[in-house]
Structure 1
Amino acid sequence: SSVPWLAEALAGDRAEPGPWPDAPLADLADLLPPEFGPTGMVLVSPLLSASGSAGALLLIRRSGRAGFDPRDVELAREFAARAGAALATADLHGEQAHLARVLQTSLLPPELPVVPGVSMAGGYRAAGDSLRIGGDFYEVFPHPRGALFALGDVCGKGVGAAVLTGRVRQSLQTLRLVEQRPLELIQLLNQALFDAPDAARRNQFTTLLLGSLDRGPAGLDVRIAGGGHPAPLLVTADGTVTPVPVGGMPVGALTAARFAETRVHLDPGDLLLAYTDGVTEARGPRDAAMFGEARLRATLASAAGQPPAALIDRVLRAVDDWLGGQAHDDIAMLAVGASASA
């Protein structure tokens, strides 16, 4: 357009933010109703933001009316300044939403791989409904004999916890290429977290279960290393639910942390459930009582003999019913068992 000062307003290269002098309307006449006429007046002002021009404000008066007086100019100046700031804020919000979506995509639990001889399912709920990212996570890494699995709970919530979650998961992705024994791997992870430049300043840590699944002649042999995480639960085909104590200290809390390891065998029909404390610490809306381990065990016993996906779904529905729409902490679960495939 050849409207005077419009190009300058869009470029935001005038030292004075405007509005600028009245401009003949002839160049806009074809775009406006006839009553405005070619002799109407237009006032052009840049919509300035911290990063430059966010656009231009055009105020138009019909033919025959007086030009813009100083009060009109001052009002237009104020409105343009506020509109520019609002547009800049909207752009910033759009960029932040895009970054959140990218972060969410990278941190949501992955689709579980197909591992011969192993059946598994995961469940995940983030505390924040908007970003759907948090500090609870699980991972499964196939290997020739079966798979490695990890389930953890990073201290804190929201984006800060999600960043550490990403660091832990990426570290495991790399370290498992050189070490697949759970106890030795969790020790390497602890060292890796302290080797990060900001580890001491951030003072963040994670509780963790790190296990290996090895196919045997009948079922799965499981080795589990513990880093201060709630004990997984063994659900046998007859409905018996038994904790598998592991112990250990949180990962990334102390350079000289000690970790523990235990072993368990899964017969066909047995399932091992690893979960974060968002399950047992979910609070109901009435008396704020926690869901608790006893209620979790009863739910698991009622789902005995079902495949991992059905068991996970049963627990999630039981927790949702208990919450009654209340806010909750991050939740992650991973159920594994032996399958008929070889």
Structure 2
Amino acid sequence: MSPGAGDADSGGGIPGTDATFSALLEDSAEDLYESAPCGYLSTLMDGTIAKINATLLGWLGLSRHEVVGRMRFADLLTVGGKLYHETHFAPLLRMQGNLGGIALEMKTRAGPRLPVLVTSTVKKSDDGEPLLIRTTVFDATDRRSYERELLRARRAADEARRQAEADRERLREALTVLQQSLLPATLPDIPGMESAGHYHTASTMQLGGDFYDLFPLDDDRFAFFLGDVCGKGPQAAALTSLTRYTLHTAALHDPDPVANLRMLNTVLLDRYTGDDPRYCTAVVGVLERAGDATHVHLASGGHPPALVLRGDGKVDHLSTRGGMLIGALPAAQFVSVRTTLHPGDTLLLYTDGLTEARVGDDRELYGDEALESFVTDLAPARPHRAIDALTALLHGFGDGLGDDTALLALGLPAPTDTGSGTSP
């Protein structure tokens, strides 16, 4: 066996292998340093560059001869970056010993600034004395581009939100104007009587279908109506407009409330046929003065009952049970009722948005009984006071109010009351 082989068998290894590995490792480490995907440099404590890798030199367009021993790290930075380095970066690095992920900009020979992220660490001796600063530099061009794109996207989103809000506001204004066009601007003066009305909108972004009106038939008689059409939105608005026009015209032609409802029923059945039926509920009536009192004749088609708040504090429930939906059936039945208002009495009409509000933790219906209890505690009350109290009640329902509500109150002041008037 040759001496070489013996040396190998005895564990000495292949001749020259250790030296070769050592050389390879040294070469590999140097190549990794020079060709790393990030920049490396080492500086003295005063910032003078002692070593820099080829990657960073390539980014900056500089040669090693120009940099090593001739330039400080701050000289590689833009004016703003140099100022930040001297006032913040370098002092903090001396105090803390390391800083990571600092965004700076470096100058390049080609002209464009190079956005970078810098991490620096102070190397110390065994005695704790600072020897040099090692710095790693990452090209943040892609990150900066991403940040700019993100900023542009955020600005575009903000502008889109502002535009959407402006569009919603314009839509609210348009819907408010359209909703108001379906209601009387003011209520007429009725000699010796007081009237008040209110329309409570559940959503400013949807057209409701509730309506009311009060208008003279002649010197001694006034007609009124209040109702609620099915649905919401433009179709409900069109139906409301047709309903108001029909009832107004019918009352001027024939003051009989039942005849008015029959006319409306015929019109709706004729207008809305096939797979798109449209219907509504309504109460229609006539007021006729008779000395100190006012006679009331009203009829209902599927509408909640009217209430009378009497001057003595009692509340009468004017039942029109049996009155059917208007526009649903050709032979629909409508029920009429008569009453007389005396000084101190107030006739109250309302749509079912009031009684169908959800209240309490269990979101139960407010209901007819709760309303009658509320107005009983309120009676006696003049029309304005009754409407104000019910308006406050509606506001108190908050998001439990899912539907619009129309209110109309007509009454005679008590003998001790002074003045009369109307409210829109």
Q: TM range, normalised to the smaller chain?
A: 0.5 to 0.7
Give the match for residue 296 of structure 1: 371
Aligned to 1:203: 277
Instruction: Work out the CA distance in 2 between the residues paired with 1:177 and 1:116.
Output: 20
| 1:173 correspondence with 2:248 | yes
> Secondary structure in 2 aligned to 1:176?
helix
Question: What is the distance in 2 between the residues matched to 1:193 and 1:311?
Answer: 33
Residue 152 of structure 1: aligned partner: 227
Aligned to 1:284, which of 329, 343, 359?
359
TM-score, reference length from structure 2? 0.55
Matches within 5 A, 1:1-342: 100-131=175-206, 133-143=207-217, 144-196=219-271, 198-247=272-321, 248-321=323-396, 323-339=397-413
On the 8 A contact 1:183/1:225 being kept in 2, the answer is yes
For residues 394 and 364 of structure 2, what CA distance do their matches in structure 1 show?
12
Q: 1:102 to 1:224 in 2, by over 3 A?
A: same
Could you say if the C-alpha distance between residues 291 and 180 of structure 1 is closer, same or farther in structure 2, counting changes exceeding 3 Å? same
Residues 194 and 200, structure 1, Cα contact 8 Å, conserved in 2: no
SS at match of 2:347: strand
> C-alpha deviations, 1:49-94, integer Å up to 9, x for none?
xxxxxxxxxxxxxxxxxxxxxxxxxxxxxx9xx9xxx8xx989989
Following TM superposition, by how much is the alpha carbon of 1:137 offset from its aligned partner in structure 2, in angstroms? Answer: 1.0
Query: In structure 2, what is the Cα distance between the partners aligned to 1:126 and 1:331?
Result: 7
Q: 1:75-126: per-residue Cα shift (whole Å, max 9, x none)?
A: xxxx9xx9xxx8xx98998986675355233224532111113211112112
Deviation at 1:199, TM superposition (A): 4.1
Task: Give, in whole Å, the separation in 1 of the partners of 2:309 and 2:262.
Answer: 28
Residue deviations 1:230-250, cap 9 Å, x none? 111111112211210113111
> 1:102–1:279: structure 2 CA closer, same or farther, 3 Å change rule?
closer
Identity over aligned pairs, percent: 38
Q: TM-score normalized by structure 1?
A: 0.67
Report deviation, 1:314.
Answer: 0.8
Counterpart amino acid of residue 310 in structure 2: T
CA contact (8 A) 1:118 1:146 kept: no
Residues 185-227 of structure 1: CA deviation (Å, up to 9, x unaligned): 111121122232x444421101110000000123110001110
Structure 2 distance, partners of 1:327, 1:163, is 23
Residue 274 of structure 1 and its aligned partner are, at CA, apart by 1.1
Aligned AA for 2:285? G
Name 2:128's counterpart in structure 1: none
Paired AA for residue 156 in structure 1: G
Tell me if the contact between 2:266 and 2:327 (Cα under 8 Å) persists in the aligned partners.
yes
Residues 268-287 of structure 1: per-residue CA shift (max 9 Å, x gap): 11111111111111112522
- 1:30 is matched with none
| Separation in structure 2 between the aligned mates of residue 233 and residue 204 of structure 1, nearest angstrom | 27
CA 109–286 in structure 1, closer or farther in 2 if over 3 Å, else same:
farther
**d(CA) in 1 for partners of 2:300, 2:293:** 22
Q: Which whole-Å CA distance do the structure 2 matches of 1:113 and 1:228 have between them?
A: 27
Cα distance in structure 2, aligned partners of 1:333 and 1:179: 25
Q: 1:155, CA displacement in angstroms?
A: 1.4
Q: Identify which of structures 1 and 2 has the higher relative contact order when contacts are C-alpha pairs closer than 8 Å and 6+ apart.
A: 1
Alpha-carbon spacing, 1:234–1:114, altered in 2? closer, same or farther (3 Å): same
Specify the SS of the correspondent of 1:186. Answer: helix
How many angstroms apart in 2 are the aligned matches of 1:285 and 1:129? 24
- Structure with max Cα Rg: 2
- Report how far residue 154 of structure 1 moved: 0.9
Separation in structure 2 between the aligned mates of residue 160 and residue 187 of structure 1, nearest angstrom:
22
CA positional deviation for 1:253: 1.0
Structure 2 unaligned segments of length 5 or more: list them. Answer: 1-152
Q: Aligned equivalents of 1:305 and 1:130: distance in 2?
A: 36
Equivalent position SS for 1:296: helix
RMSD across aligned positions (CA): 2.9
Secondary structure, in 3 states, of the residue corresponding to 2:211?
strand
**How many pairs align?**
258
Structure 1 unmatched ranges of 5 or more? 1-78
User: Could you list the per-position Cα deviations for residues 136-155 of structure 1 after superposition, in whole angstroms to 9, with x for gaps in the alignment?
Assistant: 11111112213111010111
Q: Which residue of 2 aligns with 1:3?
A: none
